[in-house]
């Protein structure tokens, strides 16, 4: 007997924050919806956005995404919204409470890792993260270089 797995709708990644894992130690991740306007959704579907300098914050028992850049959609007829406006994150109230209590801890921040569409809805993968100091980043680079060297040395030795 085989258990049937639920088929996950396709996940179309729009943007990733590549430097987030370099500068932050990711402790926990959450998936949240984004409250967007029509032209913003169309610009996202074209793959136009930037997560550089973007962060999350709790205000009035709600979570918001600050400094998320979505350029104006070229073919909109109405006035385009502000490109770096504050956007509301859509989460269950229990998740908001859990995240906001953890954000009270000194040194933790809410960082977006990627923006994507799942089942037609715009989603953002958020991470509770702690900033890395200089020595931590150097250690990560050392580990990455060692792994690369090991990969090179073993490459081509096994022919099965």
Q: Does any domain span residue 3?
A: no
Q: Does any domain span residue 86?
A: yes
**And the tokens for 26?**
């990711």
Q: Coil, helix or strand for 133?
A: coil
Q: How does pLDDT run across 35-85, given as a tens digit for each residue?
A: 988 888 888 988 888 888 888 999 998 999 999 888 888 887 777 788 888
Q: Does any domain span residue 159?
A: no
Q: Does any domain span residue 160?
A: no
Mean pLDDT score across all residues of the chain: 84
Domain total in the chain: 1
Q: Does any domain span residue 32?
A: yes
Domain that holds residue 30: 11-154
Q: How does pLDDT run across 6-32, given as a tens digit for each residue?
A: 555 688 899 898 888 888 888 999 999
Q: Does any domain span residue 66?
A: yes
Q: Does any domain span residue 1?
A: no
pTM: 0.76
Q: Does any domain span residue 6?
A: no
Q: Which residues contact 125 (CB under 8 A, 6 or more apart)?
A: 29, 30, 31, 112, 113, 114, 115, 116
| Domain CATH number, residue 70 | 2.40.280.10
């Amino acid at each position: 007997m085989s258990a049937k797995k639920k088929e996950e709708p396709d996940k179309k990644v729009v943007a990733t924050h590549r430097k987030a894992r370099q500068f932050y130690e990711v402790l926990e991740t959450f998936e949240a919806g984004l409250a967007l306007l029509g032209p913003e959704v169309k610009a996202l579907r074209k793959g136009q956005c930037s997560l550089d300098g973007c962060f999350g914050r709790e205000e009035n028992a709600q979570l918001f995404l600050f400094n998320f850049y979505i350029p104006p959609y070229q073919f909109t007829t109405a006035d385009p919204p502000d490109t770096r406006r504050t956007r509301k994150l859509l989460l269950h109230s229990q998740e908001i409470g859990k995240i906001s209590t953890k954000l009270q801890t000194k040194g933790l921040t809410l960082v977006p890792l990627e923006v994507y569409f799942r089942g037609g809805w715009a989603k953002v993968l958020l991470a509770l993260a702690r900033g890395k100091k200089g020595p931590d980043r150097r250690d990560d680079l050392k580990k990455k270089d060692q792994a690369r060297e090991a990969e090179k040395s073993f490459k081509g030795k096994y022919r099965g």
